[in-house]
């Protein structure tokens, strides 16, 4: 059975309709409402609940309403919006959590919980309540919502529209074109009315300050203030450090169209464009030029020098002042300061650094000199070494050098002859004569020795100081000249000698005497002379000689010279030759009588050179 509630009984401008025959599942009931009316009733408030509870007839199965569970939340079927908790009208202990009970029924005219809600399984069959709208498609304009009212409807205007049907748009104040700019507008609902949009742009070289698009809003005001066209500016240009700039500005300083010309001071040249123009991009037509100092050639330090420069602009450029400093030990020859001119030339040629010179030196006497000269002869850094000849010694350090002050590090040493031990005095009984080619008693000195009369040298007569500082021998000494040793020629002859200098040597004196009954034949006193000879032959004692007798004469060295037969005491004999090449040589004699000869006895003595 389908039944419509009379309009006079409607709560709102729409009409309620219900169906109980046959009862339907929830989805079938909704589809039926949508087919014949607008949709299933989704109860909005308590007033609507009470209205339906009074007007709907009782149905044992009750009525489905347009609320069901979606994603775990109770939702109005028509709007797909969740039902707020304060709008929910559940019966006691409802809703329950039984699976599948996702659709809502309303208890109409029930004794308990009347007009309350209960969740049921959607497949159960129940009556249904539908509604039909009063608003028609052309009731309001497209810029409004048709709202059902009691017995009628009203048009709820969208923002920006007004009027009974909401078909008139709100107007905004017309916008003027900006200076140096333009606008293009779109008016969907009339010139400068709601939703009119205007796009702004600027001439070349200007930029928009503000929003490029304005929209006429529902309140009759534009969304933003009208924009302005501002001239594009380039970065401010600063004059080069060593130059100047002159600018001509079309609008504002350093803005679109401005032109700047550059110049440089003396000694500098422009690197870059001479003139720049500010472009519409806000950039200059090229990079800002610079004033670069004129460059002089790189200053190479002279040998043995270093250069210190002050460069106000750049290294070795205009205005650079360079000072040359010579190394220690070198003298500056020329100007030590030079300046880079505006013509890119140095004011002075580089100076020279010459090594300081020391006084020239020569090889020492008795030595040699060897020098190394890294710079120049006898100049700073020169190193000399002295060596001495054999037999000479340096009296200082062998090496010396020329210092940075132009002086030798040491006095030049000398070669001194090696010293031999000093000979303090001449030998006793002699004299010493020395010659010294260098210093007394040094290498090369020669000392000669001579003995007094009656003395002779024990060593060589001269000694030399050698290269090792030693004498070639020990100093010579004088010893007395030796005479032949004297013996008494017979037992009857006695001899008494004194030896002041040594036995039978120069100065020795022998006195002779015969026994009583014999007479002395010869000198009674003999002296050893400076020549090493006795002043006379030894004497003999003349007494009872037995003749004949043999006289055997031998040299003092034992060589037989002659044998004589004497028959009388006054007989004389002669050897007839020199003995040992020297007539004055002493000879030894021995004699014996025939009876002595037989018995082997005899006498001996010395003979002078006249005794034979």
Q: How many CB atoms lie within 10 A of CB 32?
A: 16
**Mean per-residue pLDDT over the chain, rounded:** 84
d(CA 192, CA 144): 21
pLDDT band at 88 (very low <50, low <70, confident <90, very high): very high
Residues 6+ positions from 114 with CB-CB distance below 8 Å: 53, 107, 108
Q: pLDDT tens, 275-326?
A: 999 999 999 999 999 988 898 988 888 888 889 999 888 888 888 999 999 9
SS3 category, 493? strand
Q: Which of 389-393, 415-419, 573-577 has the lowest mean pLDDT?
A: 573-577
Domain spanning 2-132: CATH superfamily:
Mannose-Binding Protein A, subunit A (3.10.100.10)
Domain spanning 493-607: CATH superfamily:
Complement Module, domain 1 (2.10.70.10)
* Average pLDDT of the segment spanning 335-363: 89
Residues 6+ positions from 54 with CB-CB distance below 8 Å: none
367-417 CATH fold: Complement Module; domain 1 (2.10.70)
**427 pLDDT more than 90:** no
Phi-psi label, residue 37: left if phi above 0, alpha if psi -120 to 50, beta otherwise = beta
Do the first three CATH levels of 2-132 and 493-607 match, i.e. the same topology? no
Closest CA relative to residue 198, chosen from 225, 159, 164, 161: 225
Q: Which residues pair with 201 in a beta bridge?
A: 182
Decide if domain 181-231 falls under CATH 3.40.718.10: no
pLDDT of residue 574: 47
Contact at 8 Å (CB) between 189 and 49? no
Contact at 8 Å (CB) between 114 and 128? no
pLDDT band at 581 (very low <50, low <70, confident <90, very high): very low
Which strand (E) or helix (H) includes residue 389? none
Structure tokens at 395: 């009296």
pLDDT of residue 135: 75
SS3 category, 48? helix
d(CA 454, CA 527): 12
Q: pLDDT tens, 133-146?
A: 777 777 888 888 88
d(CA 208, CA 598): 180
d(CA 292, CA 318): 9
d(CA 30, CA 19): 11
pLDDT of residue 141: 87
**181 pLDDT more than 90:** yes
Contact at 8 Å (CB) between 160 and 218? yes
Closest CA relative to residue 449, chosen from 482, 427, 464: 427
Higher-pLDDT residue of 577, 255: 255
305-355 CATH fold: Complement Module; domain 1 (2.10.70)
Decide if domain 430-480 falls under CATH 2.10.70.10: yes
User: Domain spans of the chain?
Assistant: 2-132, 181-231, 243-293, 305-355, 367-417, 430-480, 493-607
The angle formed by the CA atoms of residues 173, 174 and 179, to the nearest 5 degrees, is 125
* Average pLDDT of the segment spanning 27-47: 90
* Strands 197-202, 181-186: pairing kind: antiparallel
**224 pLDDT more than 90:** yes
Contact at 8 Å (CB) between 87 and 75? no
* Average pLDDT of the segment spanning 457-481: 88
d(CA 216, CA 193): 6
Q: pLDDT tens, 190-210?
A: 999 999 999 999 999 999 999
Q: Which residues pair with 52 in a beta bridge?
A: none
Structure tokens at 428: 């006793």
pLDDT band at 553 (very low <50, low <70, confident <90, very high): low
Cα atoms found within 13 Å of the Cα of residue 532, Cβ hemisphere only: 10
pLDDT of residue 586: 43
* Strands 337-339, 321-326: pairing kind: antiparallel
Which strand (E) or helix (H) includes residue 356? none
**425 pLDDT more than 70:** yes
d(CA 379, CA 331): 11
> Phi and psi for 392 in degrees, rounded to 5?
-125, 150
Contact at 8 Å (CB) between 204 and 280? yes
Please give the share of the chain, as a percent, with pLDDT higher than 90.
41
pLDDT band at 559 (very low <50, low <70, confident <90, very high): low
**439 pLDDT more than 90:** no
d(CA 575, CA 455): 31
* Average pLDDT of the segment spanning 455-471: 89
pLDDT of residue 597: 39
Higher-pLDDT residue of 5, 85: 85
> Phi and psi for 157 in degrees, rounded to 5?
-70, 140
Q: How far is CA 207 from CA 35, 178, 565, in A?
A: 61, 11, 175
SS3 category, 86? helix
d(CA 122, CA 535): 192
pTM check: above 0.75: no
Q: pLDDT tens, 107-116?
A: 999 999 999 9
pLDDT of residue 312: 86
pLDDT of residue 119: 95
Closest CA relative to residue 364, chosen from 421, 411, 318, 332: 411
Domain spanning 243-293: CATH superfamily:
Complement Module, domain 1 (2.10.70.10)
Structure tokens at 561: 């010279």
Q: Which residues pair with 451 in a beta bridge?
A: 430
């Amino acid at each position: 059975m389908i039944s419509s509630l009379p309009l006079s009984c409607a709560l709102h401008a729409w009409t309620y309709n219900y169906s109980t025959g046959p009862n339907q599942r929830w989805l079938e009931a909704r589809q039926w409402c949508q087919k014949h009316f607008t949709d299933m009733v989704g109860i909005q408030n308590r007033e609507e609940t009470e209205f339906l509870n009074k007007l709907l007839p009782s149905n044992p199965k009750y009525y489905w309403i347009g609320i069901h569970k979606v994603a775990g939340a109770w939702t109005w079927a028509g709007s797909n919006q969740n039902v707020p908790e304060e709008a929910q009208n559940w019966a006691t202990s409802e809703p329950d959590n039984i699976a599948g009970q996702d659709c809502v029924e309303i208890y109409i005219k029930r004794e308990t919980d009347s007009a309350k809600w209960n969740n049921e399984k959607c497949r159960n069959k129940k009556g249904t309540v539908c509604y039909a709208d009063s608003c028609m498609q052309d009731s309001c304009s497209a810029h409004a919502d048709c709202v059902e009212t009691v017995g009628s409807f009203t048009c709820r205007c969208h923002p920006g529209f007004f009027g009974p049907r909401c078909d008139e748009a709100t107007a905004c104040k017309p916008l003027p074109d900006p200076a140096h700019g333009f606008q293009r507008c779109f008016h969907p609902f009339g010139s400068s009315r709601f939703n009119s949009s205007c796009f702004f742009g600027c001439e070349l070289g200007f930029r928009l300050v503000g929003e490029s698009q304005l929209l006429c809003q529902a309140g009759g005001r534009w969304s933003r203030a009208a924009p302005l066209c501002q001239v594009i500016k380039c970065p401010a240009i600063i004059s080069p450090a060593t130059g100047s700039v002159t600018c001509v500005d079309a609008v504002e300083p350093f803005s679109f169209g401005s032109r700047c010309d550059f110049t440089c001071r003396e000694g500098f040249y422009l690197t870059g464009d001479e003139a720049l123009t500010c472009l519409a991009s806000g950039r200059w037509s090229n990079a800002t030029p610079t004033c670069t100092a004129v460059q002089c050639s790189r200053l190479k330090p002279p040998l043995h020098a270093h250069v210190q420069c002050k460069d106000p602009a750049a290294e070795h450029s205009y205005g650079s002042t360079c000072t040359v400093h010579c190394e220690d030990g070198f003298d500056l020859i020329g100007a030590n300061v030079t300046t880079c001119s505006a013509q890119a030339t140095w004011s002075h040629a580089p100076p020279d650094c010459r090594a300081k010179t020391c006084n020239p030196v020569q090889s020492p006497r008795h030595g040699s000199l060897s020098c190394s000269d890294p710079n120049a002869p006898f100049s700073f850094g020169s190193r000399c070494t002295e060596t001495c000849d054999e037999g000479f010694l340096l009296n200082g350090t062998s090496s010396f050098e020329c210092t940075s002050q132009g002086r030798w590090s040491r006095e030049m040493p000398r070669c001194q002859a090696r010293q031999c031990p000093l000979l303090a005095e001449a030998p006793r009984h002699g004299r010493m004569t020395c010659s010294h080619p260098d210093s007394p008693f040094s290498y090369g000195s020669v000392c000669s020795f001579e003995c007094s009369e009656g003395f002779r040298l024990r060593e060589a007569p001269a000694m030399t100081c050698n290269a090792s500082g030693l004498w070639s021998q020990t100093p010579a000494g004088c010893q007395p000249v030796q005479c032949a040793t004297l013996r008494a020629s017979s037992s009857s002859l006695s001899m008494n000698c004194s030896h002041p200098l040594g036995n039978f040597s120069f100065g020795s004196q022998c006195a002779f005497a015969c026994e009583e009954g014999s007479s002395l034949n010869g000198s009674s006193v003999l002296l050893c002379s400076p020549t090493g000879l006795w002043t006379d032959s030894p004497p003999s004692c003349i007494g009872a000689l037995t003749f004949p007798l043999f006289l055997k004469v031998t040299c003092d060295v034992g060589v037989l010279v002659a044998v004589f037969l004497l028959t009388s005491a006054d007989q004389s004999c002669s050897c007839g030759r020199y003995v040992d090449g020297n007539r004055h040589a002493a000879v030894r004699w021995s004699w014996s009588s025939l009876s002595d000869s037989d018995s082997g006895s005899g006498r001996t003595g010395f003979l002078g050179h006249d005794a034979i």
